[in-house]
Chain A
Amino acid sequence: MSIEPRHLRRRRGRFVARAAGVAVAAIGAAAVAARADDAPETTARGGAVAGEVLAAERQRIDVIARAARTALAIFAGEAGGGSGVLISADGYALTNFHVVQPAGVAMKCGLSDGSVEDAVLVGLDPTGDVALVKVVGRDELPFAELADSDEVEVGDFCFAAGNPFLLATDLRPSISAGIVSGVHRYQFPAGTILEYADCIQVDAAINPGNSGGGLFDARGRLIGVNGRASFEKRGRVNVGVGYAISANQLRNFLGFLKGGRLVDHATLGATVGSDADGRVVVSDILESSDAWRRGLRYDDEIVAVAGRAVRTVNALKNVLGTLPAGWRVPLVFRRAGRPQQIIVRLAALHRPAELARIVAAQDQEQKPGPPQDPEKNPEPAADQPTPPLPEKVRNLHEARPGFTNHHFNLLERERVAERIAMSAPWAAVEGAWVVRGRLGTGAPFRIVLSAERGLIDLPTGTTEVDATGELDADPGPPGSGGLLAALLLWRRLLVEGPARLGRTSYWGTQPRDPRSLGDAATTELVDVLEASASAVEARFAMGPDGVVIGIELWPAPDVDPCDVRFEPHPGRPSGMPGVIEVRHGDRLFGTFHVEEITFEPAASGPPGGAS
């Protein structure tokens, strides 16, 4: 579009003065009415104004320079590459699944200081298009802090730091700035993966190559990871419509990713639709789902999930898309006008094998190799020689089904094990633990836990089990869902450590209290260990100090677990519970007020004794 010279001449003078006036009004240096054709002359003359403009600009430059240092240029060989953003000093960095996918396990990363380092793939979330990588051999890297992305508002300043069009040959990232155009956006998945739920929409230029790079707010905090843009008929260049995965979603999945997992997203186990009045109602529900067991039924109106109001089907997809499979979330539904709240455990969106297949399929799709003769090579993927991993990375990777990189799961398990060991030095006692106290009803109870056996003495009867072998069924007490097994595993974890529990892995993180969900500022995520032996499966939640705060034990798949929660006692050593609350399904099995814990020396004959 040409501008007629006449226009240009006539307007240039006013443009300059006017624009200065607007700039001044914007930084609030003077009470200038921004409309106005009146102010520019005076503001253009004021020498002090330029100083403030420069100061504001200086501040922005500093913020951007700081954020730019956290940017990574990721090289995925001939398949391309993209961007990443460092989130820890020891080199953990977030990026997109679709960026690292062609690279496989090992890749080269360019840092903004001009160095090129090896990096290893740690965790993948194919559904959310997220990957966690670790830059190898550096431990003092600049990194970005995840902000609370629910505080981001439309109109906020934001900027992206990344590697658009792979231009960063000097490894210094390109910066593009803009405003937040929309929040809580939903972008449909491509197939069953790459769903962008609850994402942040920006008009900062997001181009191919920006994928995986950080989106920052005016203070340089990481509010998201850029990964998608609307193009359609405009070709694959920015049209002012980019999308970033929100920091809050990233935070929810980060524990799982650090644990080297192949992470899955969540489903309610129910489908919903809008009825004639625009309400979101359950249109179908699996009877094997936790939602069904908690009481959700056909035609129930969903009002809120995980602390977020649900007024449209999109809103529900938005909430669910940010949550990992296995989390428990509050759900408010309305039936016959009466609202009810339940806590629902979310199921996995894919079967593990399905997820692995998706990753593998994408792998082939994105790695066009020489044409294969199907007669000779019925399974080309298996026959393709895998290039040897770089030396630095070789010892940092271990393949295992269900994991992206099992090596990192062992690291996380070890980290948690150390904390557990430090949290309860008293627990190194090898003899029997005898726990005495009173139930909420006032009746006395006695629990005996040792390496050989477990016993729970309740007014309703005594339950006893041999603890020397693997626990392969629910030993009771009846109605508890497996309390005795849970407590025996708890003792074994504290005495012998995670490695001796059976197949033990680092599970990820979950909210300490599901009811706090919806407010990232108060939602505390705690580490969870997973242990399985025979059919029994257990998850242990640990506080930041390593104290076990809860156990969930499933004596069989697809049933309600025994839910044990430990409350501390101010007068006792850390990790020694004051109250043990036991739930099964919707029922409170019992509240155990612990009055005394005694330790009997090992091998001193049968501890305790039937009463």
Chain B
Amino acid sequence: MNDGLRRGLASVVRFLVPAACVWCGLGWPAEAVTPGETIAAAARKVVKVYGAGGIRGLEAYQSGVLVAPDGQVVTVASTVLDADDIDCVLDDGRRFRATLRGIDPRRELAVLKLDGEDLPAFVLDESPPLDVGSRVFALSNLFGVAVGDERVSAQHGVIAALVPLAARRGAYEAPFRGDVYVLDCTTNNPGSPGGALIDRQGRLVGLLGKELRSSASGVWLNYAIPVAELARAHRDIMAGEAMAPPPADAAAAMIDPLVLGLVLVPDLLDKTPPFVESTLPDSAAARAGLLPDDLVVAVNGLAVSSRSAVRQALAVVAEGDPVRVTVIRGGAIVDCDLGARPAGVRR
């Protein structure tokens, strides 16, 4: 095909597409599997999550997706999970008590575990991201309208962009800096976070993100975290779970960050925030680019809130395993790889 013809056709297609892609998606004649069937099958893998909240504009409910038949649920890390009793209700009305397996503070994701078996579950694969313009469905328990065996709500939309969440620095404050799907679909509603974004084949392609509002314009952002990122978070959290818990005599096992060349502020309080004081010259910490006044928030994905927690977290990293320190620097989250953990001096 010559270039002129190609250009001509392309312009025709470009002209038709906005109407065609929106409308044909909605007319759906003659598809082997109807959108209704796709949604019904996928909705069985979405759970309604109930936990803490119900006051001051914080909902006590959100959504989650089943990712393993034994009841592993990926959802967003939020105040809803800050409860002794977290309940998940399946599409068929079955109610399960859930335990929190772990949190990925950087991606603001969490893994819950239900005591189930043979549950319907999405496949968490690290498939390449969908293209902009792809049509998707969002399934979530928005506004908590579905209770018991009532099916979560379905919305339709289009992937409008795949951009870093921080593309407008400062406008949307979120710790996650990776690429997210921006959706042409009003998914950013109470209860929606943790819901499933699926493609037309019913495959999980993303997780609806937490409520996020632009500080500049007041606009609520409709976005989803791509499935590959979910898969990584899930793997990290489950791996953290597999790690040996800190020994009873935790102090004895603590490893001094100094072996990595990391000097933290003096430990003066019960919970001294782990700010970086300095780095030793030519150390792993210096090479990784850690700077004074960085605030350490995670070690290998494990959230840390104090100096002693940093030492504890380092203690469970096996000798020779890579160490990644996540810090907040000037409002942004920065990952620093410090290389393999040396055989440290334990104090």
Contact = CB atoms under 8 A, between A and B. Distances in A.
Contacts of B28: 26-27, 157
A234 B218 CA distance: 10
A90 to B, nearest CB: 33
B153 A44 contact: no
A300 to B, nearest CB: 20
A19 B131 CA distance: 9
B186 A238 contact: yes
Contact of A203 (B14, B16, B185): B185
B27 A157 contact: yes
A221 interface: no
Interface in A292-338: 311-312, 314-315
Contacts of A393: none
B145 A182 contact: yes
A178 B150 contact: no
Nearest to A15: B133
Interface stretch (B18-26, B236-244, B256-264): B18-26
B154 A26 contact: no
Contact of B20 (A53, A179, A234): A53
B162 interface: yes
A468 interface: no
Interface stretch (A3-11, A403-411, A536-544): A3-11
B123 interface: no
A56 B29 contact: yes
B155 A19 contact: no
B167 interface: yes
Contacts of B199: 35
A27 B24 CA distance: 6
Contact of B147 (A2, A34, A60, A312): A312
Contact of A314 (B148, B172, B186): B148
A23 to B, nearest CB: 4
Interface stretch (A114-122, A148-156, A500-508): A148-156
Given A179-B156, A241-B189, A312 B13 contact: no
Interface residues of B, number: 69
A45 interface: yes
B141 to A, nearest CB: 10
B186 A18 contact: no
Nearest to B128: A37
Interface in A1-54: 1-4, 7, 11, 14-20, 22-28, 34-35, 37, 44-45, 50, 53-54
B283 interface: no
A278 interface: yes
A153 B36 CA distance: 7
A232 interface: yes
A19 B17 contact: yes
A50 B12 contact: yes
Contacts of A218: 26-27
A57 interface: yes
Contact of B29 (A14, A27, A203, A312): A27
Name, among B20, B150, B168, the residue most crowded by chain A CB atoms within 10 Å (CB to CB). B20
A352 interface: no
A181 B162 CA distance: 25
B150 A181 contact: no
B132 A34 contact: no
A187 interface: yes
Name, among A203, A218, A312, the residue most crowded by chain B CB atoms within 10 Å (CB to CB). A203
A230 B143 contact: yes
Contacts of B168: 1-2
B146 interface: yes
A14 B17 CA distance: 12
B266 interface: no
A201 interface: yes
B16 A50 contact: yes
Contacts of B27: 26-27, 56, 59-60, 157, 218
B148 A312 contact: yes
B119 to A, nearest CB: 18
Interface in B95-129: 95
A588 B181 CA distance: 67
A182 B167 contact: no
B132 A181 contact: no
Given A179-B26, A203-B185, A154 B16 contact: no
A177 B185 CA distance: 12
B1 A45 contact: yes
B154 A22 contact: no
A55 B132 CA distance: 26
B328 to A, nearest CB: 23
A458 interface: no
B93 interface: yes
A187 B29 CA distance: 32
Nearest to A33: B201
Contact of B153 (A2, A25, A59, A241): A241
A284 B285 CA distance: 69
B196 to A, nearest CB: 14
Contacts of B16: 20, 23, 50, 53-54
Contacts of B186: 203, 238-241
A60 B23 CA distance: 8
B190 interface: yes
B39 interface: yes
A30 B259 CA distance: 64
Name, among A1, A34, A179, A201, the residue most crowded by chain B CB atoms within 10 Å (CB to CB). A1
B34 interface: yes
Contacts of B39: 154-155
Given A15-B133, A179-B26, A230-B189, A4 B148 contact: no
B35 interface: yes
Contact of A56 (B12, B24, B93, B155): B24
Interface string B194-231: 00000111000000000000000000110000000000
A69 interface: no
A34 B131 CA distance: 12
Nearest to A18: B131
Interface in A230-245: 230, 232-234, 238-241
B193 to A, nearest CB: 14
B123 to A, nearest CB: 14
B83 interface: no
Nearest to B161: A3
Contacts of A153: 36
A311 B93 contact: yes
A438 interface: no
B307 interface: no
A156 B34 CA distance: 9
B24 A23 contact: yes
Given A153-B36, A182-B151, A14 B131 contact: yes
Contacts of A187: 145
B38 interface: yes
A24 B21 CA distance: 9
Nearest to B20: A23
A157 B163 contact: no
A54 B57 CA distance: 47
Interface in A448-464: none
Given A44-B13, A238-B186, A312 B30 contact: no
Nearest to A10: B132
A184 interface: yes
B134 A240 contact: no
Interface string A83-96: 00000000000000
15 contacts: A1-B161, A23-B16, A27-B30, A34-B200, A44-B13, A45-B9, A60-B23, A60-B27, A155-B37, A182-B146, A201-B153, A203-B186, A240-B142, A278-B93, A311-B149
Given A26-B135, A34-B201, 16 more contacts: A20-B13, A34-B200, A54-B16, A57-B19, A60-B27, A153-B36, A154-B154, A157-B28, A179-B155, A182-B151, A201-B153, A230-B189, A232-B190, A240-B185, A240-B186, A241-B189
Interface of B: 1, 9-10, 12-14, 16-17, 19-31, 34-40, 43, 57, 93, 95, 131-135, 137, 142-143, 145-156, 161-163, 167-168, 172, 182, 185-187, 189-190, 199-201, 220-221
